Amino acid sequence: FGYLVGSYEIDVVGGWRYMFGFSAPLAAIMAVGMWSLPPSPRWLLLRAVQGKGPMEDNKKKAMNALRRLKGPSASDKVLTDEIENNLSSIKAAYADQAEGSIFQVFEGASLKAFTIGGGLVLFQQITGQPSVLYYATSILQTAGFTTASDAAKVSILIGLFKFVMTGVAVLKVDNLGRRPLMIGGVSGITVALFLLAAYYKVLSGFPYVAVGALLLYVGCYQLSFGPISWLMVSEIFPLRTRGRGISLAVLTNFGSNALVTLAFSPLQGYLGPANVFLLFAAISLLALLFVILNVPETKGLSLEEIESKILKK
């Protein structure tokens, strides 16, 4: 929707304001929707275990929250069993110590989790995602779509394709699993970056190579790094360090995002676009190797099973 509005306002002085303006109602809907979200059942149970709320009251609240999340088809027995299992795992995690400190994220199972989660969100950015998307219009202009308005119209196609491929990931992630989507997606990203480099080096007479490479990059990114990195970050950390581990992963993500965004233009001027995309392609190969060697399959596992079967091996 933002790409669409931008394409119509591209030649209007100050037209960028309309993109922000049209986004405001969507943000308002999200803000109102947040009020209807139930609290996390695990968080309610954790509060009780930490002595920050009455146990029985919090168990009832956790049961109600879980019922909302599971839907009316879930039986009371299933909900009760899940609450009791979660409570047992939380008590076991906090039996000896309170919530883990930020330094404990770099120890034992938490360090393994941070290597996986932090590595994914780092590679998510340093494989060029900010540059490819932020500079898509510039890339398209060099590909023969000479006016900004022409390039902006093609960007609508890219935005729509991104939307569709995100839907595919949502529908298939619990069917195919995390690893196959990550490996396939990162492989496609690598091919797309090599194609962009080839376009700038030897295929400049074929502008649709650049468009195809952009679509391939966006599609594969939305199948892999886009949604699945954040899914892995949310489920990979042990209970005691989950909050701080996720926070550090987010810090890693946006720090590397800023670095790549700020470095792209100077690198493009110094190395030339072909070599910049070759650099990103080489990093993507490293990312693919990282995924193959380090990222586990967590499909169908509970948070407790991920901790016991993967992180403590």
pLDDT band at 34 (very low <50, low <70, confident <90, very high): very high
Phi then psi for residue 235, to 5 deg, are: -115, -10
pLDDT band at 99 (very low <50, low <70, confident <90, very high): low
- Give the integer Cα–Cα distance in Å for 193 and 275: 10
Assign domain 105-312 to a CATH class.
Answer: mainly alpha
Contact call for residues 228 and 178 (beta carbons, < 8 A): yes
Mean predicted lDDT score pLDDT of the chain: 85
- Give the integer Cα–Cα distance in Å for 311 and 23: 41
Which stretches within 143-241 are classed as H helix?
148-176, 178-201, 207-223, 225-236
Please determine, for residue 292, whether its predicted confidence score (pLDDT) is greater than 90. Answer: yes
Domain ranges across the chain: 1-36, 41-97, 105-312
| Two tokens, residue 111 | 């360090």
Global pTM value:
0.81
Nearest to 242 by CA among 53, 80, 64, 89: 89
Query: What confidence score (pLDDT) does residue 101 get?
Result: 73
Cβ neighbours of residue 208 closer than 8 Å, sequence gap 6 or more? 143
Rg (alpha carbons) of the chain, rounded to whole number: 23
Of 248 and 272, the one with more pLDDT: 248
pLDDT in tens, 2-29: 777 777 776 777 777 887 888 889 899 9
Mean pLDDT of the 87-107 span:
75
pLDDT band at 148 (very low <50, low <70, confident <90, very high): low
Q: DSSP class of residue 17?
A: H
| Two tokens, residue 262 | 């700020």
Contact call for residues 133 and 187 (beta carbons, < 8 A): no
Q: What is the DSSP string of 291-305?
A: HHHHPPP-TT--HHH
Contact call for residues 210 and 143 (beta carbons, < 8 A): yes
Query: What confidence score (pLDDT) does residue 290 get?
Result: 96
pLDDT band at 149 (very low <50, low <70, confident <90, very high): low
Please determine, for residue 183, whether its predicted confidence score (pLDDT) is greater than 90. Answer: yes
Q: What is the DSSP string of 221-276?
A: HHHTHHHHHHHHHHHHS-GGGHHHHHHHHHHHHHHHHHHHHHHHHHHHHHH-HHHH
Cβ neighbours of residue 193 closer than 8 Å, sequence gap 6 or more? 127, 128, 213, 217, 277, 278, 280, 281, 284
Please determine, for residue 269, whether its predicted confidence score (pLDDT) is greater than 90. Answer: no
Contact call for residues 250 and 122 (beta carbons, < 8 A): no
Query: What confidence score (pLDDT) does residue 253 get?
Result: 92
